[in-house]
Amino acid sequence: MESAGPSTHHIASDVTSTHHIAPDVTSDSMTSRDYYADSYAHFGIHEEMLKDTVRTGSYRSAIMNNGHLFKGKTVLDVGCGTGILSMFAAKAGASHVVGIDMSNIIDQAQKIIEANGFKDTITLVKGKLEEAELPIDKFDIIISEWMGYFLLYESMLDTVLLARDKYLKPEGLIFPDTAKLLFAAIEDQDYKEEKINFWDNVYGFDYSCIKDIALREPLVDTVELKAVVTDPYVIKEINLLTATKEDLTFTAPFNLVATRDDYIHAFLAWFDIVFDCTHKKVKFSTGPHAQYTHWKQTVFYTPETITIKRGQEITGSLACAPNARNNRDLDISITYAVGDEEEETIVDYKMCVILYSCRIPFLLQSD
Ligand SMILES: C[S@@+](CC[C@H](N)C(=O)[O-])C[C@H]1O[C@@H](n2cnc3c(N)ncnc32)[C@H](O)[C@@H]1O
């Protein structure tokens, strides 16, 4: 039989020099139903995260520019995904890295660490951190990329705090160790018209029952800096070395001061991350003033348009709690009053239905 030369795509089974690329068992056997249950198994979600250079580049700088913190240290990578942070830690001089992930993506991570020569330095464990047995009892450093939309969506921070309490040495470090949630108000007439008021009249029909549902669902999207009408306000600061799971259910006051006369159609939230334990503090922001990240910002439309004058204040509070039926969802309630008005408005939002626009389309089922 004639050998298949390099120019042909015909792959004959009896030609030993041909590389027949058969899909491996995991990716071959996974269907969309499996991806529904294991949303992190598909490479696409990891592609988006890896290509977010603000995110991945910040972790790389924080870890690899701080070899003095990693040299000879044991490191736990909580939710290692494709193993990128584990490999940064190994390159930074860690004596041993354990990466854990409950998703099938870890099968690819195993191949990746072997392909890059880290088989002896990195050990991967497949499973849920809460249930797994790790090969090392106590670690010097925990690294994790746990942040969700609005910082807390996905509730993965619970897992990192549990890892800290169970596996981190008393003087151990966490990368990153500080997260801040920020809040402001925006002028957003055009987009509110398109997303919310659209339901008032759909081809001449009254669809306004959906308007209320749409309004209560925070929208993950990018917002231009020029839309921001108030100073930002730090609504919550989380120190990962000391925070408890209970701290993630909170009510925090805010006080937004208008920077110009304008109309307000929504509140806006974003988060900042700091690797405080690094020598030259590595930090990044997901705010409207900063470079794009896949977290974008989170918009909370108000039922009525607010008219504001420069220097006037919007005071109120934001309450956030995991949803009782699905702890990955968030119940967020915003209470506010404008200027000297006594009347308060309270709006209850539910962060869950980001099915069509998000990197995590399937995280809707409870654990
Ligand atoms: C945001 S991704 C980060 C992946 C990787 N560290 C990176 O930076 O590219 C979070 C990962 O954590 C994993 N994960 C979430 N909760 C987990 C848990 N309780 N136990 C183990 N892995 C978990 C997910 O499967 C996912 O792969």
**Which of 145, 187, 224, 342 is labelled catalytic?**
145
Q: Where in the chain is the domain with CATH 2.70.160.11?
A: 178-351
Which of 124, 130, 145 to probe ligand 1 with, by most ligand atoms within 8 A of CB?
145
Mean pLDDT calculated for residue range 234-250: 98
Q: Note if 145 is an active site residue.
A: yes
Which amino acid residue places its CA nearest to atom 20 of ligand 1?
128
According to DSSP, the β-strands at 330-338 and 74-78 are unpaired
Token pair in block for residue 53:
């250079």
Atom of ligand 1 nearest to the CA of 127: 21
Q: For 310-334, give the DSSP string.
A: TT-EEEEEEEEEE-SS-TTSEEEEE
**pLDDT band per the 50, 70, 90 thresholds, residue 354:** low
CA distance to 38, 42, 327, per residue, from 34 (Å): 6, 10, 21
Cα-Cα end-to-end distance for the chain: 55
The set of residues, in sequence order, having a beta carbon less than 8 Å from that of 48 and lying 6+ positions away, is 294, 359
Q: What single-letter DSSP state applies at residue 24? A: P
User: pLDDT tens digits for 308-318?
Assistant: 999 999 999 99
Return the CATH fold of 178-351: Hnrnp arginine n-methyltransferase1 (2.70.160)
The CB of 188 under 6 Å from ligand 1? The reply is no
| CA 346 to chain CA centroid, nearest Å | 27
Average pLDDT over residues 128-144: 97
Known catalytic residue at 343: no
Residue 61 pLDDT level (bands cut at 50, 70, 90):
very high
pLDDT by residue (tens digit) across 85-111? 999 999 999 999 999 999 999 999 999
- Kindly state if the Cβ of 84 falls inside 6 Å of ligand 1: yes
What pLDDT does residue 4 have?
Answer: 32
Cis ω for the linkage preceding 288 (within 30 of 0): no
pLDDT in tens, 200-219: 999 999 999 999 999 999 99
- Kindly name the residue from 48, 154, 246, 304 that is annotated as catalytic: 154
Ligand 1 pocket residue status of 97, Cβ below 6 Å: no
DSSP bridge pairs for 318: 252, 334
Q: Whose CA is nearest to atom 6 of ligand 1?
A: 80
Where does the pLDDT of residue 24 fall: very low under 50, low under 70, confident under 90, or very high at 90 and above?
low
Torsion sign over Cα 339, 344, 350, 355: negative
Q: Ligand 1 centre from 168 Cα, in Å?
A: 18
Q: Is 241 helix (H, G, I), strand (E, B) or coil?
A: coil
Q: How far is the CA of 196 from the centre of ligand 1 (A)?
A: 33
φ and ψ at residue 76, rounded to 5 degrees: -110, 125
CA 270, CA 257: separation in Å to the nearest integer?
A: 17
What is the average pLDDT across 76-89? Answer: 98
**Mean pLDDT across the chain, nearest whole number?**
89
Q: How confident is the model at residue 367 (pLDDT cuts 50, 70, 90)?
A: very low
CATH of domain 25-145: 3.40.50.150
List every span in the chain annotated with CATH 3.40.50.150.
Answer: 25-145
Interval 148-178: pLDDT, tens: 999 999 879 999 999 999 999 999 999 999 9
The CB of 80 under 6 Å from ligand 1? The reply is: yes
